[in-house]
C-alpha cells in the first residue's frame, strides 16, 4: 500500500481542515495517509509521495511550512510532490489566481521540486478564529466574512492528484 504524507502550515486552523479533507480523499482511495503540521512532520523516508501546503499571511506561506520544504528539498526532489495554498483572494477575487500562484512559486522554485500539481483554495475569515490584530488587518483589507472552503473543489483536486500519484 502506498504511504502518503499531507503536510500543512496553519495559524488559525483553516488549512489543517483542508489538509484533513485531502487526506480523507486519499484514504478513501486506499492509501495509507498521515496528515501532519509542518512543525511536527518528521523524516520522509517512509513516504512514497507528499502533498504540502500553507495558508497565506501578507502574500507569503507560513514560515514553518517554508522551512519544512527547504529542509526536506533534497528528498522531495526524489518523490512525487503536489503543493497547495489556502487564502482569501481565491474567495474574493478568483481571477487573481495567477497572483496567488506567484506567492507559492518561490517556495517551489527554491526547493528544486517539479510539482505534480498546484492547488489554490479559498480559506476563511472567521473573526472568532483570529486575534484582534488579525481581525483589524482583514477589516482594513475589506475581506468578506465566512468560511469559503469549497469542499467539492478540494475533493476534485485531491482526486486528480491521487490519480497522478498512481493511487
Ligand atoms: C493578518 C492576515 C493577513 C492575511 N494576508 C492575506 C494575503 O495577503 N492574501 C490572501 O489572499 N489572504 C490573506 N489572508 C487570509 C488567510 O490566508 C485566510 O484567512 C486563510 O484561510 C488562513 O488560513 P490559515 O490560518 O490556516 O493560514 C490573511 C489573513 C490574516 C489574518
For residue 45, pLDDT beyond 80: yes
Measured CA to CA, the distance from residue 53 to residue 159 in angstroms comes to: 16
For residue 167, pLDDT beyond 90: no
What is the tens place of the pLDDT at every residue in 60-74?
999 999 999 999 999
For residue 1, pLDDT beyond 80: no
Q: Whose CA is nearest to atom 3 of ligand 1?
A: 57
Residue 166: predicted pLDDT: 87
- Closest ligand 1 atom to the C-alpha of 15? 26
Among positive and negative, which fits the CA dihedral 133, 128, 146, 86?
positive
Task: Kindly list the domain boundaries of the chain, sorted by start residue.
Answer: 3-164
The model's pTM = 0.97
Looking at the domain that runs over 3-164, which CATH code has it been given? Answer: 3.40.50.360
What is the tens place of the pLDDT at every residue in 4-28?
999 999 999 999 999 999 999 999 9
Question: What value does the mean pLDDT take over residues 135-140?
Answer: 95
For residue 140, pLDDT beyond 90: yes
* Average pLDDT score, the chain: 96
Q: How far is the CA of 81 from the centre of ligand 1 (A)?
A: 23
Measured CA to CA, the distance from residue 85 to residue 34 in angstroms comes to: 19
Residue 43: predicted pLDDT: 87
Amino acid at each position: 500500500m502506498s504511504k502518503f504524507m499531507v503536510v500543512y502550515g496553519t495559524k488559525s486552523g483553516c488549512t489543517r481542515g483542508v489538509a484533513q479533507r485531502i487526506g480523507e480523499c486519499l484514504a478513501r482511495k486506499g492509501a495509507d495517509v498521515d496528515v501532519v503540521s509542518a512543525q511536527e512532520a518528521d523524516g520522509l523516508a517512509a513516504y512514497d509521495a507528499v502533498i504540502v501546503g500553507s495558508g497565506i499571511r501578507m502574500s507569503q506561506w507560513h514560515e514553518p511550512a517554508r522551512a519544512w520544504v527547504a529542509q526536506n528539498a533534497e528528498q522531495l526532489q526524489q518523490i512525487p510532490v503536489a503543493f497547495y495554498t489556502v487564502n482569501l483572494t481565491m474567495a474574493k477575487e478568483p481571477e487573481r489566481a495567477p497572483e496567488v500562484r506567484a506567492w507559492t512559486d518561490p517556495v517551489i522554485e527554491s526547493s528544486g521540486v517539479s510539482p505534480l500539481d498546484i492547488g489554490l483554495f479559498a480559506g476563511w475569515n472567521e473573526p472568532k478564529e483570529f486575534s484582534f490584530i488579525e481581525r483589524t488587518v482583514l477589516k482594513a483589507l475589506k475581506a468578506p466574512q465566512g468560511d469559503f472552503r469549497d469542499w467539492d473543489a478540494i475533493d476534485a483536486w485531491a482526486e486528480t492528484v491521487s490519480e497522478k500519484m498512481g493511487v
